[in-house]
Amino acid sequence: MGQMMTGQGVFALVVIVNCHIFVSSHNSAERLYNDLLLNYTKGVRPGTDYNHSLNVELFLTVSTLLEINAVDKIMSVNGFFNMLWRDERLQWNKTEYDGHSSILIDPSLLWTPRILLINPARRFQVFGTYSSEVRVQFDGYVFWVAGDMIETNCNINIRNYPFDIQTCDISITPFGYTENEVNLSVSFSTQFTEFPLGNGEWDHVQTTTTDWSLSVYNVSNFTLQYKRKHHFVLTNIIEPVLILNVISLAVFRIPPNCGERISFAITVFLSYIVFLTIITDNIPKTSSPMSLLSLYLIAKVSVSACITVSTVFIVQVSHKSPRTPIPERILYLLAKSNKMQNAEPKWADNDGNKLDNTRTRTKSGRAELITGEDEGRGSSLSTHCSHIGSKQPTWEEVAIYFDRVLFFFFLSVMLLFTVLLFTFICTNLRTGDI
């Protein structure tokens, strides 16, 4: 019983003491608040010695990257400026106010630096609309956080798309104060806090800060660097285009007299166009400068158009009437290609022995061609070609010949473009951009 009483007594005492402390601390906080603001003139900047500028230490916390817009050349981020300065008028003796070492005051009641964004994308912006209470410490140090959406004008270059790195500046100045009055110093290293979701398109690389002056004004630059995540473009644009390349060359492997060739070539051409239309949505729509990838795709569409036209031409050739004579030039080319296909280069300037040996191994027609070439360099082409075989080559053979030539021509064009593209990709890989 006695023990219980004691217990209750202690409990009551604790409650009373707690309440007393609470009431007293509440009173002292209110007293401190009123005392601090009693003779405070908000419009006058801090500093007892106006011959020295007020130093405002500032650092930027970027929470999210919203967008990098290549067309309008805008970078938008959500961020806040953390500012620290000293206001001598806001000092107090801790022991006189029950040990209170800091207090929060509404920013509209105190002097705060007005930070102006000088390279805005749309209109000038002074930070402070979304701001915290001002935290004042007993020795006069004041800490304030002001955040907003920051949209800056940014020179975006998508030439290396999708391996591009964009660098954008956020330039700020204390609005209206010259550098002799307020000095912004970005002594803290800028923090970059990317909230867990991050950005789907960009990776943050680094942030640097620089101080410089614009006439009499003190300006600080925060330079943000972002690297594009390129895997999406690689798998959804570059890979399908490479596959389409192979398909578009396959048209030259369909027999030339088959009319289906034209529909095949046109289908491939159309799928290029459909594909281009779809992927244009994924490529930044700007032309200063164009991205190399867009140029590559446009080159591919042109090549596909040329393939379609060549196919029509070959089908037309293979359907020519057999009575139409084959021009001599074509016959000459045919003979030359036959020779190159069947003969080894050294046969051209060989002695009789070697020729005889090979002749026994080769088909008679081919050997005859070589003999013809050997003895009759000056002879007319028509006799030369009629010498090849007893029968004239048909238009179909001409078409097959063109088919082969064009196949290798377009193959090398495609390979050239693709090698250029991959050289570009690999250069970017090696320079560590990826």
Ligand X SMILES: *[C@@H]1O[C@H](CO)[C@@H](O)[C@H](O)[C@H]1NC(C)=O
Rounded Cα–Cα distance for residues 158 and 139 (Å): 51
157 touches ligand X by CB under 6 A: no
CA distance 170 to 176: 18
Query: In this complex, which beta carbon is closest to ligand X, that of residue 51 or of residue 341?
Result: 51
Q: Is 49 in the site for ligand X (CB under 6 A)?
A: yes
DSSP three-state, residue 77: strand
Q: Which stretch binds ligand X (CB under 6 A): 12-20, 131-139, 179-187, 263-271?
A: 179-187
Q: Is 28 near ligand X (CB under 6 A)? A: no
Three-state SS for 301? helix
- Give yes or no for residue 3 binding ligand X (CB under 6 A): no
What secondary structure does DSSP assign to 102-169, as a single string?
A: EEEE-GGGS----EEESSBSSS-EEE-SEEPPEEEETEEEEEEEEEEEEEEE-----TTTTS-EEEEE
Of residues 37 and 266, the one with the C-beta less far from ligand X: 37
Residue 356 near ligand X by CB under 6 A: no
Q: Is 171 in the site for ligand X (CB under 6 A)?
A: yes
Contacting residue, 76, 125, 131, 183, with ligand X by CB under 6 A: 183
Compute the distance between CA of residue 150 and CA of residue 235 in angstroms, rounded to an integer.
33
Secondary structure (H, E, C), 313-362:
HHHHHHCCCCCCCCCHHHHHHHHHHHHHHHCCHHHHHCCHHHHHHHHHHC
Q: Which residues 50-89 are close enough to bind ligand X by CB under 6 A?
A: 51, 53, 55
Q: Is 45 left (phi over 0), alpha (psi -120 to 50) or beta?
A: beta
Task: Give yes or no for residue 179 binding ligand X (CB under 6 A).
Answer: yes
Q: Min. distance of Cβ 109 from ligand X in angstroms?
A: 15
Residue type, 46: P
- CB distance 115 to 127 below 8 Å: yes
- Tell the smallest beta-carbon distance from residue 227 to ligand X (Å): 19
For position 213 contacting ligand X by CB under 6 A, the verdict is no
Instruction: Count the Cβ atoms, other than its own, within 10 Å of residue 55.
Output: 15
Q: Is residue 185 a contact point for ligand X (CB under 6 A)?
A: yes
Q: Which CB atom, from 93 or from 129, has the smaller least distance to ligand X?
A: 93
Query: Is 35 an interacting residue with respect to ligand X (CB under 6 A)?
Result: yes
Q: Establish if 96 lies at the interface with ligand X (CB under 6 A).
A: yes
Residue 39 makes contact with ligand X by CB under 6 A: yes
Stretch that binds ligand X, among 10-18, 108-116, 177-185, 297-305 (CB under 6 A): 177-185
User: For residues 185 and 257, which CB has a smaller minimum distance to ligand X in the complex?
Assistant: 185
State the maximum Cα–Cα separation within the chain, in Å, rounded to a whole number: 138
Residue in the block written with tokens 């000088």: 118
Prior bond of 325 cis (ω within 30°): no
129 near ligand X (CB under 6 A)? no
The answer to the question of residue 34 lying near ligand X (CB under 6 A) is no
Residue closer to ligand X, measured from CB, 88 or 328: 88
Site residues, ligand X (CB under 6 A): 35, 38-39, 49, 51, 53, 55, 93, 95-96, 119, 169, 171, 179, 183, 185, 210, 212, 221
